[in-house]
Amino acid sequence: MPRRRDLSPRAVAPRGRRPVALVLSLALAISISVAFAAPAHASPQDDLAAKKARAAALESKIEADHGKAEMLNERYLQAQTDVAESQRKIAAAEAGIARAEADMKESRLRLSGRAATLYMGAGNTDPFAIGTTDVRELGSRATYGAAAADVDQRLLDRLHVAEETLGIQRKTFQKVQDEARSQQESADKALSAVRQAVQVEQNELASVKGDIGQLVDQIAAARQRADDARARAAFQTLQARAAAARNTVDTGRGPSSIGGQPFNVPAPSAGAAAAVAYAWAQLGKPYRYAGVGPDAYDCSGLTMMAWAQAGVSMPHGSIAQGDMFPRVPDSSLQPGDLAIYYPGHTHVGMYVGNGMTISATHTGDFVRLQPVFRDGYQYSVRPG
């Protein structure tokens, strides 16, 4: 019997080293293949920039396509006008021929009557004073045949010219009409194609904008988590400071005298102190659209109710609140000042000192501490 080949690890790997080397080689190959196979994921910010660029390109394309559609629509309307005009000209030419034929019949009847009179009154010096019932009889009479034939021929020639002219005009107008209809159909097809393209682009744009909204939410959520972390760290640090400062002399104006807040920052007035104290007391309460307390607030509802404690009346709206009070330099912020955010001035918070605001953030969140100079900050105002 032939000897069987020994495939045991001992036979394959001399001195027991090959299995380890083989495993390491395989592991290295797998890790390299995985490294090449796994694509690098773009950050949400990169994705957002790409989506915004695509949305801008789509909006530009849609605007251009709307311009094309408007141009094609005008071409369609012009072709429609040309068709109607050619039809009008054909109808007018045909009406002219109908009138010429009617004139021809009338002239023939009149000529026949005169010929009959002439035939019956032979010898009369007036060749049109008599008539006949058949123009052919008139033609057979040498006395008055030449006059009858000449009149009849002129009428026939005029009718033939009119009919030939009509034929030429009809062909010309028909050609114009056919060309106009062809342009109309071409414009209609092109217009339909552009409208379909616009619809596809608008659908894609809606999808891209939906993606943008999700990415914005993701980025905002990440930014909010970072803000929360900074706020919590600042809160803890300032809690320790406030605890150490609770034994300081009470000025009657600072937050330390109105509830033991962690920021021992004096307010500029008793009214501001009352507003700040109210805002501190709402920390942790949920955000609610149009909420004015006492259980939930929106951003301007919180600041409105806070300053109401000091007897200051203001509208329920961040835009109006930002417009009705004097602005404050960023370097001179004091507790109680209102910080306005975003280009549309659609968010407001209350500055409470040490670089922090208290604000009702957004649906699903709650009244919280946030850095005052965060993304979207515009300016600050002082109600009192």
Residues 193 and 269 in one domain: no
pTM above 0.75, yes or no: no
**Cβ atoms of 340 and 314 closer than 8 Å:** no
DSSP reduced 3-state for 351:
strand
Which of 218, 244, 276 delimits the end of a domain?
A: 218
Mark which of 164, 195, 218 sits at the end of a domain: 218
Residue pointed to by tokens 């600041």: 303
Alpha-helical segments (H) within the chain: 9-12, 18-37, 44-120, 135-140, 145-245, 270-281, 299-308, 318-324
- Give yes or no: residues 114 and 195 share one domain: yes
Phi, psi of 92 (to 5 degrees): -65, -40
CB 78, CB 119: distance < 8 Å: no
Q: How far apart are CA 273 and CA 323, in angstroms?
A: 22
2-28 tens-digit pLDDT: 444 444 444 444 444 444 344 334 443
Report the C-alpha gap between 311 and 47 in whole angstroms.
48
209 and 75 in one domain? yes
In a domain, 2, yes or no: no
Q: Is residue 248 part of a domain?
A: no
pLDDT on residue 228: 67
Number of domains in the chain: 2
Provide DSSP, 164-229. HHHHHHHHHHHHHHHHHHHHHHHHHHHHHHHHHHHHHHHHHHHHHHHHHHHHHHHHHHHHHHHHHH
Q: How far is residue 345 CA from its own chain's centroid?
A: 23
Listed in sequence order, the residues at least 6 apart from 123 whose beta carbon sits closer than 8 Å to its beta carbon are none
Residues of the chain with pLDDT under 70: 1-41, 70, 74, 100, 104, 107-108, 110-152, 155, 227-228, 230-264
Last residue of a domain, one of 195, 218, 241: 218
- Together in a domain, 263 and 365: yes
198 and 324, same structural domain?
no
Residues 175, 56 share a domain: yes
Task: Report phi then psi at 339, rounded to 5.
Answer: -100, 125
Measured distance CA(281)–CA(293) in Å, rounded: 11
Would strands 377-381 and 327-328 be described as parallel, antiparallel, or unpaired? antiparallel
Do 296 and 161 belong to one domain? no
Q: Is residue 179 part of a domain?
A: yes
CATH number of 335's domain: 3.90.1720.10
Rounded Cα distance between 312 and 274, Å, is: 11
Identify the burial level of 332 via C-beta atoms within 10 angstroms of its C-beta, where 0-12 means exposed, 13-18 middle and 19 or more buried: exposed
Q: 370 Cβ partners below 8 Å, 6+ apart?
A: 227, 231, 349, 356, 357, 358, 359, 361
pLDDT at 367: 93
**Pairing outcome for strands 327-328 and 338-341:** unpaired
- For tokens 């789509």, name the residue: 58
Residues 187 and 53 in one domain: yes
Query: Bridge-partner residues for 347, per DSSP?
Result: 341
Residues 175 and 303 in one domain: no
Pair 198, 272 in one domain = no
pLDDT at 21: 43
CATH number of domain containing 93: 1.10.287
Structural domain boundaries, residue 83: 44-218
Q: Determine the pLDDT at residue 231.
A: 60
192 lies in some domain: yes
Q: Is 283 helix (H, G, I), strand (E, B) or coil?
A: coil
Q: Give domain status of residue 226, yes or no.
A: no
Q: Are residues 206 and 310 in the same domain?
A: no
Whether residue 189 is contained in a domain is answered as yes
